[in-house]
Structure formats: C-alpha cells, structure tokens
Amino acid sequence: MRHVVLFDLDGTLIDSGPIILASMKHASMAVLGREPDEELVRSAIGGPGLLAQMRELDPDRVDELVEAYRLHNEPLHETLEAFDDVLRLLRVLKSEGRRLGIVTAKRLRTVGLALDRFPQLGEAMDVVIGAEDTDKHKPEPDPVLEALRRLDASPADAVYVGDSPFDI
C-alpha cells in the first residue's frame, strides 16, 4: 500500500485552467499586442512553470509578461473552483492514515491563494512543495523527491497524481 499520496495542484485538485488561460491571454495582449496560441497555452498548463511558458511567448520580454500575468491572475483566485469529488477523496485518504502533499511548479504565494480559497485542502496536506523549494521543476523528479525527503518517505511508499504529461 502507498502511504504517501502527492498531488499536482492545477487541474488535479483545483480547476485553475480557466484563470490560467485568461491570464496568459491578458499578458500576451498587454505586452505583445497579440493573442497567444490557445492550444500551446493549454498544453503547457501544469508543466515546467510560468517562466518557461513566457519564454515560449517571447524570450526577450519574459519579465514583462510574468508581471502582467501575475497582476491579472492573483485576483482571479477568488473565482477558483475545486473538484468536489477530489476534496471528498482527500478526507477518505486522511482517514486511512495516509500522508498527503501538493507538488507544483507554482510559487508558494500563489499556492497560498488557492489554499486560502479552499482551507480544507490546506488542512489535509502534510507537505506543500512550490517553485521556490527546488532548482529544477517538473518533469524533473526534484520536487517530488523534496516532498518525500520532508515526509521522511521513500519513492516506493508513494504515488504522484497529476493530470498532464509533465506529471509522469
């Protein structure tokens, strides 16, 4: 039996796709004056992080794009939706004595906005790993290994649940 269950955040625990897409469109329009390729944006959600996504849009204007994205995105966290069945599942997993965690490429500040919106999500977690916690991000194993280190658990005792190819 796997005693540790680690989860991706975006698209797995919370339905953040709509606000991510809206903020990517906003940043691209505000900084570059053009809409991004929606399929490209969707395919990168849950991937190696915001900086990498912005480099894809324009490698020379990453800082401007990130700033425009964050200013637009952070207030939208008030509209986030969670997956109710997943929240119920977390209660079941906790009742079975499993240790739970979030492993995401998001900044911890942004993760905190989601946890503020859904306190039961934060209460269920034994560890939260964000972008600042490791130098390398998904699909590299470093964030998952850091979570396991903090839980004093081995990879053989854990499973990681995600929603994108970056989570494999």
Q: Would you call 8 a catalytic residue per the annotation?
A: yes
Q: Going by C-beta distance under 8 Å and a sequence separation of 6 or more, which residues neighbour residue 118?
A: 14, 80, 82, 87
Q: Going by C-beta distance under 8 Å and a sequence separation of 6 or more, which residues neighbour residue 85?
A: none
Residues paired with residue 14 on neighbouring β-strands, in sequence order: 10, 82
Instruction: Give the CA distances from residue 18 to residues 22, 30, 75, 151, in Å, rounded to whole numbers and listed in that order.
Output: 6, 18, 13, 32
Active-site position among 8, 37, 60, 126: 8
> How is 92-104 classified by DSSP, letter by letter?
HHHHTT-EEEEE-
Dmax (CA) for the chain in angstroms is 52
Q: Annotated catalytic sites, by residue?
A: 8
